[in-house]
Amino acid sequence: MEQHGSGGRRRRRRPLIIIGVVVVALLIIVVIAVAVSLKQRRGKDNFQSTFMARCNKFMGYNCNQVWKAFQQAYVGRDPRKVPMDAYNPFIIETPFHNPICNKLIFWSKTKEIAHDFTEKNKNCFITVEDTLMGSVVDGLIWCGKEGSNETFTTGCPEWGEGENPVRSFWKRASAAFADAACGDVTVMLNGSLDTPYHPESVFASIEVPRFTSTKVKSLNVVLVTQNNLDTCTNDSLKNLQKELAHGITYNCKEVAEIQIQKCSSSSGMQCGTCW
Protein backbone atom coordinates (compact mmCIF):
# COMPACT_ATOMS: atom_id res chain seq x y z
CA MET A 1 0.00 0.00 0.00
CA GLU A 2 2.80 2.40 0.82
CA GLN A 3 4.55 1.67 -2.50
CA HIS A 4 1.31 2.16 -4.39
CA GLY A 5 0.72 5.52 -2.72
CA SER A 6 4.31 6.65 -3.38
CA GLY A 7 4.01 5.81 -7.08
CA GLY A 8 0.80 7.84 -7.30
CA ARG A 9 2.50 10.87 -5.85
CA ARG A 10 5.37 10.53 -8.38
CA ARG A 11 2.85 10.35 -11.22
CA ARG A 12 1.12 13.49 -9.95
CA ARG A 13 4.47 15.34 -9.78
CA ARG A 14 5.35 14.72 -13.43
CA PRO A 15 2.64 17.04 -14.89
CA LEU A 16 3.65 19.71 -12.38
CA ILE A 17 7.30 19.43 -13.46
CA ILE A 18 6.34 19.62 -17.15
CA ILE A 19 4.17 22.69 -16.49
CA GLY A 20 7.04 24.29 -14.59
CA VAL A 21 9.46 23.67 -17.47
CA VAL A 22 6.99 25.13 -19.96
CA VAL A 23 6.47 28.24 -17.80
CA VAL A 24 10.22 28.77 -17.46
CA ALA A 25 10.69 28.34 -21.22
CA LEU A 26 7.93 30.86 -21.94
CA LEU A 27 9.46 33.33 -19.49
CA ILE A 28 12.84 32.95 -21.23
CA ILE A 29 11.22 33.58 -24.63
CA VAL A 30 9.45 36.68 -23.29
CA VAL A 31 12.67 38.00 -21.73
CA ILE A 32 14.58 37.46 -24.98
CA ALA A 33 11.82 39.14 -27.03
CA VAL A 34 11.78 42.14 -24.69
CA ALA A 35 15.59 42.37 -24.78
CA VAL A 36 15.63 42.28 -28.58
CA SER A 37 12.90 44.92 -28.73
CA LEU A 38 14.77 47.18 -26.32
CA LYS A 39 18.01 46.69 -28.27
CA GLN A 40 16.29 47.64 -31.52
CA ARG A 41 14.72 50.69 -29.87
CA ARG A 42 18.07 51.79 -28.43
CA GLY A 43 19.68 51.24 -31.84
CA LYS A 44 17.04 53.41 -33.54
CA ASP A 45 17.27 56.11 -30.87
CA ASN A 46 21.08 56.11 -30.98
CA PHE A 47 21.02 56.32 -34.76
CA GLN A 48 18.67 59.31 -34.78
CA SER A 49 20.53 61.10 -31.98
CA THR A 50 23.85 60.60 -33.79
CA PHE A 51 22.31 61.83 -37.04
CA MET A 52 20.88 64.96 -35.39
CA ALA A 53 24.02 65.73 -33.41
CA ARG A 54 26.13 65.60 -36.56
CA CYS A 55 23.60 67.68 -38.50
CA ASN A 56 23.50 70.38 -35.83
CA LYS A 57 27.23 71.01 -36.25
CA PHE A 58 26.44 72.61 -39.62
CA MET A 59 24.91 76.07 -39.82
CA GLY A 60 22.00 77.00 -42.05
CA TYR A 61 20.11 73.70 -42.18
CA ASN A 62 16.76 72.63 -40.74
CA CYS A 63 17.87 69.33 -39.23
CA ASN A 64 14.33 68.17 -38.50
CA GLN A 65 13.51 68.53 -42.19
CA VAL A 66 16.80 66.87 -43.13
CA TRP A 67 15.92 63.88 -40.90
CA LYS A 68 12.42 63.57 -42.35
CA ALA A 69 13.73 63.73 -45.90
CA PHE A 70 16.32 61.08 -45.09
CA GLN A 71 13.87 58.71 -43.41
CA GLN A 72 11.28 58.78 -46.16
CA ALA A 73 13.79 57.13 -48.51
CA TYR A 74 13.76 53.75 -46.76
CA VAL A 75 11.17 53.58 -43.93
CA GLY A 76 8.44 51.03 -44.66
CA ARG A 77 10.27 49.69 -47.71
CA ASP A 78 11.79 46.35 -48.59
CA PRO A 79 15.44 46.96 -47.52
CA ARG A 80 16.67 45.44 -50.77
CA LYS A 81 14.55 47.69 -52.98
CA VAL A 82 15.61 51.25 -52.12
CA PRO A 83 16.81 52.97 -55.33
CA MET A 84 19.23 55.87 -55.48
CA ASP A 85 16.56 58.41 -56.37
CA ALA A 86 14.69 57.62 -53.14
CA TYR A 87 17.20 59.99 -51.52
CA ASN A 88 16.47 62.90 -53.88
CA PRO A 89 14.44 64.81 -51.23
CA PHE A 90 17.37 64.44 -48.81
CA ILE A 91 19.81 65.80 -51.39
CA ILE A 92 17.52 68.80 -51.92
CA GLU A 93 17.54 69.48 -48.16
CA THR A 94 21.35 69.39 -47.93
CA PRO A 95 22.75 71.84 -50.52
CA PHE A 96 26.31 73.11 -50.26
CA HIS A 97 26.32 76.51 -48.55
CA ASN A 98 30.02 77.33 -48.81
CA PRO A 99 32.19 77.88 -51.92
CA ILE A 100 33.51 74.51 -53.05
CA CYS A 101 35.26 75.14 -56.38
CA ASN A 102 38.83 73.79 -56.34
CA LYS A 103 38.23 72.17 -52.93
CA LEU A 104 36.59 68.83 -53.68
CA ILE A 105 38.70 65.74 -53.14
CA PHE A 106 37.42 62.30 -54.11
CA TRP A 107 38.90 58.98 -52.98
CA SER A 108 38.87 55.29 -53.84
CA LYS A 109 40.32 52.73 -51.42
CA THR A 110 42.08 55.58 -49.58
CA LYS A 111 39.32 56.73 -47.21
CA GLU A 112 41.40 56.82 -44.03
CA ILE A 113 44.29 58.64 -45.70
CA ALA A 114 41.99 61.17 -47.36
CA HIS A 115 40.10 61.86 -44.15
CA ASP A 116 43.23 62.24 -42.06
CA PHE A 117 44.39 64.78 -44.61
CA THR A 118 41.20 66.84 -44.84
CA GLU A 119 40.70 66.79 -41.06
CA LYS A 120 43.66 69.17 -40.71
CA ASN A 121 43.22 70.93 -44.04
CA LYS A 122 39.49 71.64 -44.43
CA ASN A 123 40.27 75.12 -45.72
CA CYS A 124 41.97 73.45 -48.67
CA PHE A 125 40.00 70.26 -49.39
CA ILE A 126 36.80 68.48 -48.39
CA THR A 127 35.52 64.96 -49.02
CA VAL A 128 31.84 64.08 -49.29
CA GLU A 129 32.01 62.86 -45.69
CA ASP A 130 33.12 66.34 -44.59
CA THR A 131 29.85 67.83 -45.84
CA LEU A 132 26.56 67.63 -43.96
CA MET A 133 25.27 65.32 -46.69
CA GLY A 134 27.88 62.66 -45.97
CA SER A 135 28.72 63.44 -42.36
CA VAL A 136 25.35 62.55 -40.84
CA VAL A 137 25.61 58.83 -41.62
CA ASP A 138 29.32 58.23 -42.14
CA GLY A 139 30.19 54.79 -40.75
CA LEU A 140 26.58 53.95 -39.87
CA ILE A 141 24.23 51.12 -40.92
CA TRP A 142 20.47 51.53 -41.27
CA CYS A 143 17.41 50.10 -43.02
CA GLY A 144 13.63 49.90 -42.83
CA LYS A 145 11.16 47.05 -43.09
CA GLU A 146 7.89 46.67 -44.97
CA GLY A 147 4.95 47.52 -42.74
CA SER A 148 7.08 49.32 -40.15
CA ASN A 149 7.75 53.02 -39.57
CA GLU A 150 10.94 52.28 -37.64
CA THR A 151 14.62 52.69 -38.49
CA PHE A 152 16.62 49.51 -37.87
CA THR A 153 20.37 49.25 -37.30
CA THR A 154 20.61 45.46 -37.15
CA GLY A 155 19.47 42.78 -39.56
CA CYS A 156 20.08 45.07 -42.54
CA PRO A 157 21.32 43.79 -45.92
CA GLU A 158 25.02 43.56 -46.66
CA TRP A 159 26.60 46.13 -49.00
CA GLY A 160 26.15 44.06 -52.15
CA GLU A 161 22.62 42.82 -51.48
CA GLY A 162 20.26 44.49 -53.93
CA GLU A 163 19.44 48.19 -53.80
CA ASN A 164 19.93 48.40 -50.06
CA PRO A 165 19.55 51.73 -48.19
CA VAL A 166 23.24 52.22 -47.35
CA ARG A 167 24.63 51.39 -50.79
CA SER A 168 22.00 53.47 -52.60
CA PHE A 169 22.58 56.39 -50.25
CA TRP A 170 26.32 56.57 -50.89
CA LYS A 171 25.85 56.21 -54.62
CA ARG A 172 23.34 59.08 -54.58
CA ALA A 173 25.46 61.25 -52.29
CA SER A 174 28.52 60.58 -54.44
CA ALA A 175 26.57 61.57 -57.54
CA ALA A 176 25.52 64.85 -55.90
CA PHE A 177 29.11 65.52 -54.81
CA ALA A 178 30.36 64.91 -58.35
CA ASP A 179 27.62 67.13 -59.79
CA ALA A 180 28.95 69.95 -57.61
CA ALA A 181 32.55 69.53 -58.78
CA CYS A 182 34.04 72.64 -60.34
CA GLY A 183 37.44 74.12 -61.09
CA ASP A 184 40.37 71.90 -60.14
CA VAL A 185 39.24 68.54 -58.76
CA THR A 186 41.45 66.08 -56.87
CA VAL A 187 41.20 62.33 -56.30
CA MET A 188 43.32 60.10 -54.07
CA LEU A 189 43.80 56.62 -55.50
CA ASN A 190 45.57 53.64 -53.96
CA GLY A 191 48.82 52.96 -55.81
CA SER A 192 49.30 49.65 -53.97
CA LEU A 193 46.45 48.08 -55.94
CA ASP A 194 46.88 46.42 -59.31
CA THR A 195 43.95 48.52 -60.53
CA PRO A 196 43.92 51.88 -58.73
CA TYR A 197 41.10 53.07 -60.99
CA HIS A 198 38.72 50.13 -60.81
CA PRO A 199 35.76 50.26 -63.23
CA GLU A 200 33.33 49.00 -60.55
CA SER A 201 34.33 51.55 -57.92
CA VAL A 202 31.96 54.37 -57.02
CA PHE A 203 34.51 56.85 -58.33
CA ALA A 204 34.64 55.18 -61.75
CA SER A 205 31.00 54.19 -62.14
CA ILE A 206 29.22 57.14 -60.49
CA GLU A 207 31.48 60.16 -60.09
CA VAL A 208 33.74 60.40 -63.14
CA PRO A 209 30.84 60.19 -65.66
CA ARG A 210 29.27 63.25 -63.98
CA PHE A 211 32.32 65.52 -64.39
CA THR A 212 31.55 68.05 -67.13
CA SER A 213 34.06 70.24 -68.93
CA THR A 214 31.75 73.25 -68.53
CA LYS A 215 32.42 73.13 -64.78
CA VAL A 216 35.53 71.00 -64.17
CA LYS A 217 38.81 72.45 -65.38
CA SER A 218 41.15 69.64 -64.38
CA LEU A 219 41.34 66.32 -62.55
CA ASN A 220 44.46 65.89 -60.42
CA VAL A 221 45.19 62.29 -59.50
CA VAL A 222 47.19 61.81 -56.30
CA LEU A 223 48.47 58.25 -56.52
CA VAL A 224 49.26 57.29 -52.93
CA THR A 225 52.37 55.11 -53.15
CA GLN A 226 54.29 52.69 -50.95
CA ASN A 227 57.23 51.91 -53.23
CA ASN A 228 58.79 52.87 -56.54
CA LEU A 229 56.71 50.29 -58.42
CA ASP A 230 53.55 52.35 -57.96
CA THR A 231 53.43 54.73 -60.92
CA CYS A 232 51.08 56.90 -62.90
CA THR A 233 51.71 54.69 -65.94
CA ASN A 234 49.26 52.06 -64.62
CA ASP A 235 46.93 50.92 -67.41
CA SER A 236 43.82 51.64 -65.33
CA LEU A 237 44.88 55.28 -65.04
CA LYS A 238 45.18 55.46 -68.80
CA ASN A 239 41.56 54.32 -68.91
CA LEU A 240 40.64 57.08 -66.48
CA GLN A 241 42.26 59.64 -68.74
CA LYS A 242 40.32 58.32 -71.74
CA GLU A 243 37.01 58.37 -69.88
CA LEU A 244 37.24 61.99 -68.79
CA ALA A 245 34.98 64.37 -70.64
CA HIS A 246 36.73 66.17 -73.50
CA GLY A 247 38.17 69.45 -72.28
CA ILE A 248 39.10 68.32 -68.75
CA THR A 249 42.86 68.39 -68.17
CA TYR A 250 44.33 65.25 -66.62
CA ASN A 251 47.29 65.27 -64.24
CA CYS A 252 48.80 62.48 -62.14
CA LYS A 253 51.45 62.57 -59.46
CA GLU A 254 52.88 59.84 -57.26
CA VAL A 255 52.93 60.92 -53.62
CA ALA A 256 54.34 58.76 -50.84
CA GLU A 257 51.84 57.96 -48.09
CA ILE A 258 54.33 59.16 -45.49
CA GLN A 259 54.40 62.56 -47.19
CA ILE A 260 50.61 62.84 -46.98
CA GLN A 261 50.77 61.80 -43.32
CA LYS A 262 53.23 64.62 -42.65
CA CYS A 263 50.85 67.06 -44.29
CA SER A 264 47.99 65.61 -42.24
CA SER A 265 49.87 66.43 -39.04
CA SER A 266 50.67 69.99 -40.15
CA SER A 267 47.91 72.54 -39.62
CA GLY A 268 49.70 75.39 -41.38
CA MET A 269 50.38 73.95 -44.83
CA GLN A 270 49.70 75.88 -48.02
CA CYS A 271 46.96 74.37 -50.15
CA GLY A 272 48.41 71.93 -52.68
CA THR A 273 51.96 71.97 -51.32
CA CYS A 274 51.76 68.24 -50.51
CA TRP A 275 51.94 67.52 -54.23
- How much is the pLDDT for 1? 46
Query: Is 148 within the bounds of a domain?
Result: yes
- Answer yes or no: is pLDDT of 12 > 70: no
Query: Is 20 within the bounds of a domain?
Result: yes
Q: Are residues 155 and 81 in the same domain?
A: yes
- How much is the pLDDT for 269? 59
Q: Are residues 122 and 148 in the same domain?
A: no
Instruction: Note down the domain range covering 204.
Output: 99-127+181-267
Q: Are residues 206 and 194 in the same domain?
A: yes
Q: Are residues 10 and 70 in the same domain?
A: yes
Q: What is the pLDDT of residues 120-148, one digit of tens each?
A: 887 889 999 999 999 999 999 999 999 99
- How much is the pLDDT for 268? 56
Closest CA to 252 of 183, 191, 177, 206: 191
Residue 12, domain CATH = 1.20.82.10
What domain count does the chain have?
Answer: 2
Average of per-residue pLDDT across 180-184? 97
Q: Are residues 68 and 200 in the same domain?
A: no
Query: Is 273 within the bounds of a domain?
Result: no
pLDDT band at 16 (very low <50, low <70, confident <90, very high): low
Query: Is 275 within the bounds of a domain?
Result: no
Q: Are residues 260 and 215 in the same domain?
A: yes
Q: Are residues 119 and 169 in the same domain?
A: no
- Answer yes or no: is pLDDT of 14 > 80: no
| Mean pLDDT (the chain, rounded) | 87
Query: Is 240 within the bounds of a domain?
Result: yes
The pTM of the full predicted model, rounded to 2 decimals, is 0.82
Rounded to the nearest angstrom, the gap between the alpha carbon of residue 83 and the centroid of all alpha carbons in its chain is 15
- How much is the pLDDT for 264? 73
Query: Is 272 within the bounds of a domain?
Result: no
- How much is the pLDDT for 8? 57
Residue 193, domain CATH = 3.40.50.720
Domain termination site, one of 141, 158, 180: 180
Q: Are residues 69 and 205 in the same domain?
A: no
- Answer yes or no: is pLDDT of 11 > 90: no
Q: Are residues 186 and 162 in the same domain?
A: no
What percent of the chain has pLDDT above 70? 79
Stronger pLDDT, 195 or 99, i.e. the higher one: 195
Burial of 238 (0-12, 13-18, 19+ CB in 10 A): middle
96: left (phi over 0), alpha (psi -120 to 50) or beta: beta
Domain termination site, one of 165, 180, 195: 180
Alpha-carbon gap, residue 81 to 242, rounded angstroms: 34
- How much is the pLDDT for 124? 86
- Answer yes or no: is pLDDT of 87 > 80: yes
Query: Is 274 within the bounds of a domain?
Result: no
Alpha-carbon gap, residue 211 to 161, rounded angstroms: 28
Query: Is 225 within the bounds of a domain?
Result: yes
Domain termination site, one of 155, 180, 205: 180
Stronger pLDDT, 61 or 2, i.e. the higher one: 61
- Answer yes or no: is pLDDT of 5 > 60: no
Q: Are residues 70 and 195 in the same domain?
A: no
Q: Are residues 155 and 261 in the same domain?
A: no
Q: What is the pLDDT of residues 226-237, one digit of tens each?
A: 865 668 999 999
Q: Are residues 37 and 72 in the same domain?
A: yes
Q: What is the pLDDT of residues 28-41, one digit of tens each?
A: 555 555 544 445 45
- How much is the pLDDT for 226? 84
Average of per-residue pLDDT across 100-127? 92
pLDDT band at 73 (very low <50, low <70, confident <90, very high): very high
- Answer yes or no: is pLDDT of 181 > 70: yes
Closest CA to 104 of 87, 85, 84, 129: 129
